[in-house]
Amino acid sequence: MRSIVTYIKQTSIILYLLAVQGCSAQSQLIADEKETVSVENLQYFLYYPKEYEEEKNDEFPLLLFLHGGGESGGTLEDLKTNGPPKLLAEGKEFPFLILAPQNPHKRKWWNTRAVIQLLDTIIKNNRVDANRLYLTGLSRGGGAAWELAVQYPDKFAAMAVVCGMTPVPYAGWINKNMPIWVFHGTEDKSIPISESENMVIRLEEMGYDVRFTKYDGVGHNSWVQAYNTEELYNWFMEQKRNQD
């Protein structure tokens, strides 16, 4: 009889301790709020077409270019190794402004919120047609271009992505009225072409206006051919954001 009483007492103590622990844990759950501030230092190139000074009453389209991981975290001059900045350095002229920021972090993804803040500042302080904003990026910058299209679906009139990647389920978040052109090399070992193929298939299934250019036998540097495609820039100039 004594052992039964002892067992009951021990059980009661255990249950009491568990109840106390539960109350103690619950008492540590608090609700609070903290405003955070993230500061990003973005260096950038800004190109003006020659017509910008000649036609002082006109607004101009703007192309936002996001580079890849190889140009991240270095000097601004590194941007001239690929894409539109390379073509500009070689003397090519474009009919629109080109904004080319640099990701200051060697091993971090683009801070897309900071990029949009920079873009909005450039638009505000220049004669930019907000309905003719074009977006493009290669590799890591291509992934950031997809991200911007998802997060800011009403911002851009057209987008070109070169060997980028993004989660396919996000396809439905992209503005269906924004034309998209995707480029990728079939032998890309860094970002497999399947990353673009799967996204393009999903977009096509949903009725999006999407082009897909595959470069047979080309590896990760498909941007060389993509950005030397003159039709790409003519295609950009044909696009205007539909506000309806």
What's the rounded Cα separation, in Å, for the pair 89 and 224?
15
20: pLDDT strictly greater than 80 = no
Q: Do 90 and 180 sit in the same domain of this protein?
A: yes
**Is 198 among the domain residues?**
yes
What's the rounded Cα separation, in Å, for the pair 154 and 49?
25
Q: Do 8 and 54 sit in the same domain of this protein?
A: no
- Considering its fold, how many domains does the chain have in total? 2
Confidence (pLDDT) at 22? 53
Q: Do 104 and 193 sit in the same domain of this protein?
A: yes
Q: Do 111 and 202 sit in the same domain of this protein?
A: yes
**Is 244 among the domain residues?**
no
pLDDT band at 37 (very low <50, low <70, confident <90, very high): confident
Q: Do 76 and 171 sit in the same domain of this protein?
A: yes
Domain range for 4 is: 1-32
Confidence (pLDDT) at 156? 98
Confidence (pLDDT) at 3? 52
11: pLDDT strictly greater than 90 = no
Q: Do 57 and 168 sit in the same domain of this protein?
A: yes
CATH number of the domain that residue 58 is part of: 3.40.50.1820
**Is 158 among the domain residues?**
yes
Q: Do 23 and 134 sit in the same domain of this protein?
A: no
Give the residue among 167, 162, 129 at the shortest CA–CA distance from 150: 167
Q: What is the pTM of this model?
A: 0.87
Q: Do 21 and 121 sit in the same domain of this protein?
A: no
Q: Do 71 and 184 sit in the same domain of this protein?
A: yes
Mean pLDDT of the 44-49 span: 98
**Is 99 among the domain residues?**
yes
Confidence (pLDDT) at 51? 95
- The β-bridge relationship of strands 210-215 and 180-185 is parallel
Tokens of 126: 């220049």
- Express each pLDDT in 162-206 by its tens digit: 999 999 999 999 999 999 999 999 999 999 999 999 999 999 999
Please report the DSSP string for 90-139 in residue order. Answer: TT---SSEEEEE----TTS---HHHHHHHHHHHHHHTTEEEEEEEEEEET
Confidence (pLDDT) at 8? 44
Confidence (pLDDT) at 162? 98
**Is 37 among the domain residues?**
no
Q: Do 6 and 54 sit in the same domain of this protein?
A: no
Q: Do 81 and 15 sit in the same domain of this protein?
A: no
| Residue 74: Cβ within 10 Å count | 14
User: What is the helix (H) or strand (E) element at residue 182, kind and residue range?
Assistant: strand 180-185
What is the largest distance, in Å, between two alpha-carbon atoms of the chain?
Answer: 105
Q: Do 216 and 145 sit in the same domain of this protein?
A: yes
The amino acid at residue 217 is G
**Is 243 among the domain residues?**
no
Percent of all residues in the chain with a pLDDT value above 70, rounded to a whole number = 88
Confidence (pLDDT) at 108? 93
